Structure 1
Amino acid sequence: MSNVEEHPAEVQCEAGRATEPVQVLVPREVPLGGLRAMRVRRTLPSRERSLIGAWCFADHYGPDEVSVTGGMSVAPHPHTGLATVSWLFTGTVEHRDSAGNHAMVRPGELNLMTAGAGISHSEVSTADTTVLHGVQLWVVSPEHTRHGERRFDHHVPEPVTGDGWTARVFLGSLLGSTSPVATDTPLLGAEITLDPDTELVADVPADFELGVLVDHGTVTAAGQRLVAGELGYLAPGNERISLHSGDSGQDGNAGARVILLGGPPFGESIVMWWNFIGRDHDEIVRYRVEWQAQLRDGDGVVSDSQLMASGPYGIPVGDHLPPIPAPPMPGGRLKHRR
């Protein structure tokens, strides 16, 4: 998914300090574009925190009636220095990218696209989707892999069940389940559903930062109550995590559902602006210039698919939507600090 804000803020990504056992990040609403835009709830990056491990971006959307919102229609746009994780609860999204991958994103199935040195992709909800509901997540690529090859991975995790709970581990290891999908840094990603008034205690790596994103219902994580849309952050040092659902869910849903994220502190200073992740201002400027040059011919008009394909990002194979131009850079230099 693209960050389609017309005036995206500079994000100076570094570890924020949690002053409480669980730091609560409250979402802000962001439209995906247009008058009838589908709106998403964004908790990462936020003013309080930019990263949880290598997780750097979390959009949570739905359940949305497509007839009202228009669904997801994100035209071709670029990425550098990151991997995108698409995970749906309801609906279907068609993915196309410039590495030649064409896939359907379906509920309970992981689609991970690694940008490497540069990629473009599009995501459009299918015509038969009536309700769209899910999360879109980004992961920062470390220095030693960020200029590497484009990659696409698909995985359908087997559910792990217990007394009143079900987990689907799409990245990393949890509750005896391990995803076969390789990642450039150690990561944890899992969907967990809980019946009302159910507690799940799971072992986690003590060096991991953890994030608990509540989709619906209420959940108490490490003693902190979280409501739908909130993201709870736990600093490293926990050898296990306790999740306890409320007696009844919100929005007509029984029990609760969360996305559990984790990883060791990233340890590298980055700059994230629009759909680019770099290490300094000049890199971001270069990425933007390259994308804009790829979009336009010498007369300043949008290029056709053949011209688009000649640029460093390429164009999604078989896509016919006009690509998204990059917004203007903010005034002044993007700051680089650890």
Structure 2
Amino acid sequence: MTNPEARPAPRVCTEGGLPGPWAECEGRAPVEIISARAVPLGGPRAMNVRRTLPQRQRSLIGAWCFVDHYGPDDVAATGGMDVAPHPHTGLQTVSWLFEGAITHNDSGGNRADVLPGEMNLMTAGAGICHSETSDPATGRLHGVQLWLALPEGARHTAERAFEHFVPDPVEFPGGYALVFLGSLLDSRSPVGTYTPLVGAELRLASGAEIDLEVDPAFEHGLLVDTGESVTLEGVHVPKDAMGYTGVGSGTLRIANGGGEPARLVLLGGAPFGEEVVMWWNFLGRSTEEIRQYREEWENHGERFGRVEGYVGHGGPGRNRDGMARIPAPELPQVPMRPRRNPAPHVQFDG
């Protein structure tokens, strides 16, 4: 998925120290709450997404650098998803659906259907472009779109790639998990990653609680999709928000005190120690790199290749706004200044 902001803010993410909202329950690890901000995806009938990463408060959790949460959207009212070909550099995209279906096309020659409970991972490496459109038969669209930052040793050498994986449910008392990346609950995804991390959907029945064993070297974020009374380490995490715990916890207590089942997405990883400049759909290491990527995309450079077979909601090769590809926004007129990512610990406010 593209970043649809007309004036995307530049970000340079390193270890540092910005305070953020936090809470703690006696005897448990403190939790930082990361609220979502609304971003429209498209034109007048835009499908809105709720973005928890990146934020001013925190830009990365492990290598996870972008979390968009959308739906459930009535496609008849919003028009659904129709993202014309757009570029990426230096990252991997992870698509995970709860409802609906999306058609993916990329310049690596990959065409696939994104379906609920099936992970699709695209590696951009030095450059790729792709399109995403909701299936015409889809009535409701609901899911998350995630990005992973590639480390220096892989961002130029990793080839364009597309991987598909359908995890089996792992049951535990009061619920189950779908582990799509990394390992959790003795379940391991076969999809390799360039940095240590984990990604999983968790389902908790009403009144259920689990002490989830996790890697203490990881920092973790828990996104609440459904469930009004979800707690992480005894701290309430509002719906659509993310609860963050830093490194050092070997067990995370997650509970659903509400009357309905809860659906959650757990993301975690080893702290990403490299400086990353993020602007629009590009991850680089400097303003100069970002400028070069933008110029190459605007000039139809070979770095990104071509998407073949894109059929948008406006017909073959066009989205509903008549575009065959998404143009890059204008770059900021001033140099991109560093915005430091807090250290991998909950930031105590005051």
TM over 0.5: yes
Q: Which residue of 2 aligns with 1:333?
A: 335
The answer to whether the 8 A contact 1:81-1:278 is kept is: yes
Cα shift at 1:191: 0.1
The answer to whether the 8 A contact 2:282-2:293 is kept is: yes
Q: Is 1:157 equivalent to 2:148 in the alignment?
A: no
Q: Which residue of 1 aligns with 2:105?
A: 96
Q: Is 1:240 equivalent to 2:246 in the alignment?
A: no
Please give the residue correspondences for 1:81-230 in structure 2 after superposition, counting only pairs within 5 Å: 81-148=90-157, 149-217=159-227, 218-230=229-241
Q: Is 1:280 equivalent to 2:286 in the alignment?
A: yes
Which of 267, 270, 273 aligns to 2:273? It is 267
Q: Which runs of 5+ in 2 are unaligned?
A: 23-29, 311-316, 319-323, 341-350
Cα shift at 1:14: 2.6
C-alpha separation between the residues in 2 aligned to 1:6 and 1:17? Answer: 26
Which range moves more in the overlay, 9-18 or 142-151?
A: 9-18
Q: Which residue of 1 aligns with 2:8?
A: 8
The answer to whether the 8 A contact 1:280-1:336 is kept is: no
Q: Could you report, residue by residue, the CA deviation over 1:217-238 in whole angstroms, capped at 9, with x for unpaired residues?
A: 1310012101210011100000
Which amino acid in the other structure matches residue 141 of structure 1? L
Cα shift at 1:18: 6.0
C-alpha separation between the residues in 2 aligned to 1:291 and 1:181? Answer: 29
Count matched residues: 318
TM-score by length of 1: 0.92
The answer to whether the 8 A contact 2:46-2:79 is kept is: yes
TM-score by length of 2: 0.89
Which amino acid in the other structure matches residue 132 of structure 2? E
C-alpha separation between the residues in 2 aligned to 1:99 and 1:279? Answer: 24
Q: Which runs of 5+ in 1 are unaligned?
A: 249-253, 295-309
C-alpha separation between the residues in 2 aligned to 1:90 and 1:314? Answer: 30
SS of equivalent residue, structure 1 residue 31: strand
Taking a change above 3 Å as real, the CA distance of residues 62 and 194 of structure 1, as seen in their structure-2 partners, is same
SS of equivalent residue, structure 1 residue 145: helix
Q: Could you report, residue by residue, the CA deviation over 1:211-262 in whole angstroms, capped at 9, with x for unpaired residues?
A: 00000113100121012100111000000111101222xxxxx221110000
The answer to whether the 8 A contact 2:40-2:47 is kept is: yes
SS of equivalent residue, structure 2 residue 299: helix
The answer to whether the 8 A contact 2:11-2:338 is kept is: no
The answer to whether the 8 A contact 1:32-1:40 is kept is: yes
The answer to whether the 8 A contact 1:206-1:236 is kept is: yes
Which range moves more in the overlay, 314-323 or 88-97?
A: 314-323
Q: Which residue of 2 aligns with 1:315?
A: 306
Q: Which residue of 1 aligns with 2:26?
A: none
Q: Which residue of 1 aligns with 2:314?
A: none
Cα shift at 1:13: 1.4
The answer to whether the 8 A contact 2:85-2:326 is kept is: yes
Q: Which residue of 1 aligns with 2:71?
A: 62
Which amino acid in the other structure matches residue 206 of structure 1? P
C-alpha separation between the residues in 2 aligned to 1:224 and 1:18? Answer: 18
Cα shift at 1:168: 0.1
Q: Is 1:33 equivalent to 2:42 in the alignment?
A: yes
Q: Aligned-pair RMSD on alpha carbons?
A: 1.2
The answer to whether the 8 A contact 2:11-2:339 is kept is: no
**Identity within the alignment, %:** 55
SS of equivalent residue, structure 1 residue 112: strand
C-alpha separation between the residues in 1 aligned to 2:295 and 2:84? Answer: 19
